[in-house]
A = this chain, B = another copy of it.
Amino acid sequence: MLKIERDILGKNNARAAENRAWLRARGIFALNLVSSPGSGKTSLLVRTLQALGGRVPAAVIEGDQQTEFDAERIRATGAPALQINTGKGCHLDADMVARALPRMALADGSLLLIENVGNLVCPAAFDLGEAHKVAILSVTEGEDKPLKYPDMFAAADLMLLNKVDLLPYLRFDTARAIDYALRVNPRLRVIRSSATSGEGIDEWLAWIDAGLAAAHASARRA
């Protein structure tokens, strides 16, 4: 079983490297959004696209076992969205993304937001070719998740501590949650966010803008 797992991950990594080269050549900044189901990823993406207001070309790949719900929510903002249904599968993989990319008519220099299947375990192991994994942790989920699901928080470069508008109604220790996340990954950047109140959206957009600038510079050098 270990050999099969290594083969699968090895093939996935090769395909992810192809995706990364493809994206880099076009100056496209791609993010892989990972979290539990119901952490608020789609609402956050909708708010992000509205805040961007078309000043950056942006597109979304949506991963879910079933339904086209999330892609429909994204399209309502005016942004193009491609839905991948994984069926029994618990994560997106690099090949699914590779097959999606040429179908999306992505503009050079654009932002590509990939919303993975809601799952704190399996997507951690599968590189899609993204620039960064962004882990979303909702404050309704409890402080202990980074220690209980460490692979995901170790694999991410940014954690959005989301739904902070609900903090007054919860017993949730924000400092402890961040401390746990930093124990697993000391270089993790953390932004507190809420799609409902708008808290943290400017900081998140500034982080995206810095990534876009780096992607554009990298494409010019290539």
Which A29-51 residues have a C-beta within 8 angstroms of B? 36-38
B118 touches A120 (CB 8 A): yes
As for how many copies of this chain the complex holds, the number is 2
B contact residues around A169 at 8 Å (CB): 166, 169
Instruction: Knowing A138-B140, A144-B67 are in contact, say whether A121-B117 is a contact too (CB < 8 A).
Output: yes
A150 touches B119 (CB 8 A): no
B64 touches A122 (CB 8 A): no
A167 to chain B, nearest CB (A): 10
A146 to chain B, nearest CB (A): 10
Q: What mask results when residues 107 to 132 of chain A are scored 1 for a CB within 8 Å of chain B, else 0? A: 00000000001111110010000000
B contact residues around A140 at 8 Å (CB): 38, 138, 140, 163, 166
Q: A38-B141, A65-B121, A66-B150 given. 18 additional CB < 8 A pairs?
A: A36-B37, A36-B38, A37-B120, A37-B141, A64-B148, A65-B148, A65-B150, A67-B147, A67-B148, A69-B147, A88-B151, A90-B90, A90-B121, A118-B149, A119-B121, A140-B140, A166-B166, A169-B169
- A-B CB contact pairs (8 Å), 16 listed: A36-B36, A37-B145, A38-B140, A38-B141, A65-B150, A66-B148, A66-B150, A67-B147, A67-B148, A69-B147, A69-B148, A88-B151, A117-B121, A121-B122, A138-B140, A140-B166
